[in-house]
A and B are shown apart, each in its own frame.
Chain A
Amino acid sequence: MTGAPDRDPGLQPERTRLAWRRTTLSCTVAAVLAAKQALHGGRTPVALVAVALSGLVWLGFLAVAHRRIQSLTRSARPGVLRPREAVAALACVAALALFAVAMLL
C-alpha cells in the first residue's frame, strides 16, 4: 500500500476484479435457476418467499463482490482477501444449494 500511481504490469488487480465479475455472473445464473424452480408450481405465497430469498442471496453475493472490487480498484497494491469475505461467498453457494434441496424434497 505505498500509494504509488504505477500500475501492475501483469494487471493482477484487474484480472482479480474480472474474476469477481465472472463469479457474480455465475451466481446470477444459479439464482435465476433457483427462482425459476420456485415458480415452477405456480405463484403460491411459499414460491414468492423462495424467490425473494434467492434474490436476497444474490444481493448478498453482489454486495461482497462489489466491496472487494472497490478495494481492488482503490490501490495498485491491494490487500489480501479477508476470510470473512471468502466465507460470505461460501455461504451464498451453500444457501442456494439448500434451497435446491428444499425444493427437491
Chain B
Amino acid sequence: MISIAQTLRLWFAPERIGEEGETPDYRFSLANERTFLAWIRTSLALVGGGFAVDQFLPDLRWGVRVGLALALLAAGVLCALRAVNHWVRCERAMRRGEDLPVSRFPTLLSVVVAGVAVVMVVVVVFGWAG
C-alpha cells in the first residue's frame, strides 16, 4: 500500500506519473478524465444539495437542518478528494499495465446518500418542526 504522503506527492508532481511505465492509448486517459469529471459533478451536486437543504427547508429544527447539510457537504468534499486520488491511481495503473484500483467508496457514498434521504423522508412524514 502507498502512504498518504506519497499519494499527495503524486498529485502535485505530474512528471512522476510520466516517469513510470508506458504512456497508454490517449483514449484510455481521456476516458479516465471523463470519469474524474463525472465524480466532480457528483461532488458539486452534493455540495449544491447541502446549500439546498439549508435554503429550502427553513422550517426544520436547526440541529436537523445543519446536520443534514453538513453530511451532504462532507460527502461532497470527500467525493472530490477521492475523485482526484482515484484518477491519479487509475492513470498510474494504466501506465504500469496493472489492474485498475477497486474501491469501497461508491458503496460508502451510496450508504451516506441513502441515510440522508431516509432522514429527510422521516422528517417530512412526521412533521416539520419535530
Contact = CB atoms under 8 A, between A and B. Distances in A.
Interface of A: 8, 10, 12-13, 15-16, 19-20, 22-23, 26-27, 29-30, 33-34, 36-37, 40, 77-84, 86-87, 89-90, 93-94, 96-97, 100-101, 103-105
Interface residues of B, number: 43
30 contacts: A12-B30, A13-B30, A16-B33, A19-B33, A22-B37, A23-B37, A23-B40, A23-B41, A23-B44, A26-B45, A27-B44, A29-B44, A30-B47, A30-B51, A34-B51, A36-B51, A36-B55, A37-B51, A79-B26, A80-B33, A86-B83, A86-B87, A90-B40, A90-B80, A90-B83, A93-B77, A94-B81, A97-B47, A97-B74, A97-B77
A84 B14 CA distance: 8
Contact of B76 (A20, A87, A93, A103): A93
